[in-house]
Amino acid sequence: MTKYYLTTAIDYANGAPHIGHAYEKIQTDVIARHFRQRYDDVYFLTGTDEHGIKMQKTAAAQGVTPKELCDSNVAKFKECWDGLGISYDQFIRTTDVEHEEIVQKIFKKLQDNGDIYKHSYTGLYCSGCESFLNPRDLTEDGLCPDHLKKPEEVKEENYFFKLSKYKDRIIEHIKKHPEFIQPEFRANEVLNQLEHIEDISVSRSKESVSWGIPVLGDDSQNIYVWIDALSNYITALGYDPEKPSEKFNKYWPADVQVIGKDILKFHAIYWPAFLMALDIPLPKTILAHGWITIDQTKMSKTIGNVIAPKDVMETFELEYPDAFRYFMMVTAPTGRDGNYSDVDFKERVNADLANNIGNLLNRTLNMQVKYFDGEIKPEFITESDNEIAKAAISTVENVKAHFDKFEVAEAAQEIVNFSNIVNKYVNDTAPWGLAKEEKMLECAKVLYNVMESMRFIATMLAPYCPNIANDVYKQLNISINPCEVKLDSLKWAEIPAGKITEKEKIKPVFLRVDSEIAGASKKA
């Protein structure tokens, strides 16, 4: 039984989701769906981060309680993820009672072990990061480099965690396990940050932050958000310092934890230190993705360029989220920053999904009907030693190898490259010409190769475009869902002899997003 546990960052519930949040959830979903095609038991966790000063301030500004604010935003996140087909198994909220109780126990255990001490402190706090900043990391104007806001000077007595005690062990772990931080180029950044690491504040006074989990046995303090937030990855599984649950023992350590590059420090330094202090194994991989800009500009409420996934769905009247999911995954190499623009979106999905895949399938099925009445005879079935079959089979291996390194964009490119090969094959062999010359067996074999290729493409594409892939399967008269096909059982020449389709059943699986037919068919 192979298990695979993967998580996303939990989003701050002080606003509605935008395409940056969506980028991460889609990336994790594509990885989850791919590994479901390879492993027996994939468990996918996502959720929301609901405590802290940011939540408290936003709620106050809107005249609602923090819990009311969270409830209404959590509903928006869930609706958005459902609309995008995010196939999570569990949605954790840090206001879940079970989570809060275990966080208190975790804090207590760290105290009992001597990893937490009380200390008076003056520091610069950025509520955007929910973190104290080191003066060294500020911009020349004294602003937080990520949020471009002046941090607030805070003077308090807080609990501190002995992060510095774990510095050497973390450095050693990163150096010994190149797979721990992905993409690998980010590891150096973390090693540099580790050079300057100091103990960190893990609580705030209730006076300054009232919306948080109380420290057991100390009425004056609330647990500061990062211990609370990071612990979600284990509390969701029912971890308990006194008696870890079966589910925890089954799924932990996580196979991959997907996060944005801005919170890598918390996941590659704080999180391992907390886990070491609790004597829990570290996750296998922290995958840091890049950021999404809009028309090459950082998304921001002030600029007013924040886009939600539903804006894209509405602009292009998309029936399925597939094209949006696909575009987000190919907009940048995995780990690098990506950009969204309507023009790029249109060009990319029209080229790859409408022309390369949709048209090819449509043309092929139409020829199958025209020349063979939609019938595959046993002698049409080709062997797996022909060039197209070999390319299909090696594409599956390449896609798997990319996913093993979490190269989601690169794996998609392999699929597109293969579809280019198939398109070229059709143009070179010209089955319509073969039919004209009455070379019917040759023509039938070309069409069979293309239909088999389409089955391979749909199977590999299913994690990105589950609905379109399923429609391709339906067009090929295959009744199972491609998401449920195991890649290791994907063999050549499985489309059986018999009637595959008839004229009335042939439908385009993906129309160009700007075509008049697309608009008209959607409106009809």
Residues that bind ligand MSP (CB under 6 A): 9-12, 20-21, 23-24, 49, 229-230, 232, 259-260, 262-263, 291-292, 299
Q: Quick one: 230 or 361, whose CB is closer to ligand MSP?
A: 230
196: annotated active-site residue: no
| 289 counts as catalytic | no
Min separation Cβ 24 and ligand MSP, Å: 5
Nearer to ligand MSP, 10 or 269 (CB): 10
Q: Residue with the closest Cβ to ligand MSP?
A: 260
Instruction: Choose the catalytic residue: 76, 298, 346, 405.
Output: 298
> Closer CB to ligand MSP, residue 348 or residue 439?
348
Catalytic residue among 70, 144, 465, 483: 144
- DSSP secondary structure code for residue 239 in this structure: -
Reply yes or no on whether 80 is catalytic.
no
Strand partners, 258: 8, 287
Q: Exposed/middle/buried for 40, CB within 10 Å: 0-12, 13-18, 19+?
A: exposed
The catalytic residue among 155, 243, 301, 523 is 301
Q: Name the residue nearer to ligand MSP (CB basis): 290 or 466.
A: 290
Angle at 51 between CA 286 and CA 294, to 5 degrees: 60
Q: Which of 126, 443, 465, 483 is catalytic?
A: 126
Note whether 264 and 189 are within 8 A (CB): yes
Of 21, 25, 51, 402, which residue is the catalytic one? Answer: 21
CB of 401 to ligand MSP, least distance (A): 25
CB of 146 to ligand MSP, least distance (A): 10
In the annotation, is 34 catalytic? Answer: no
Q: Is 118 a catalytic residue?
A: no
Least distance from C-beta 339 to ligand MSP, angstroms? 10
Catalytic residue among 147, 150, 247, 261: 147
- Whether 301 is a known active-site residue: answer yes
Going from the C-alpha of 479 to that of each of 467, 470, 506, the distances in angstroms are 13, 9, 15
Residue (260 or 321) nearer to ligand MSP, CB: 260
- Give strand ranges (E) for 60-216: 90-93, 116-126, 131-133, 152-161, 181-182, 200-201, 203-205, 213-214
Question: Shortest Cβ distance from residue 331 to ligand MSP (Å)?
Answer: 11
The alpha-carbon radius of gyration of the chain (Å, integer) is 26
Q: What number of CA atoms fall less than 13 Å from residue 188's CA on the CB side?
A: 1
**Cα-based distances in Å from 471 to 37, 420, 460:** 18, 20, 14
Chain centre to alpha carbon of residue 269: 22
> Which C-beta is closer to ligand MSP: that of 213 or that of 354?
213
Burial class (CB in 10 A: 0-12, 13-18, 19+), 314: exposed
Contact criterion met (CB below 8 Å) for 169 and 275: no
| Catalytic-residue membership of 503 | no
Q: How far apart are CA 377 and CA 499, in angstroms?
A: 9
Active-site residue, 21 included:
yes
Q: Which active-site residues does the annotation give? A: 18, 21, 126, 129, 144, 147, 298, 301
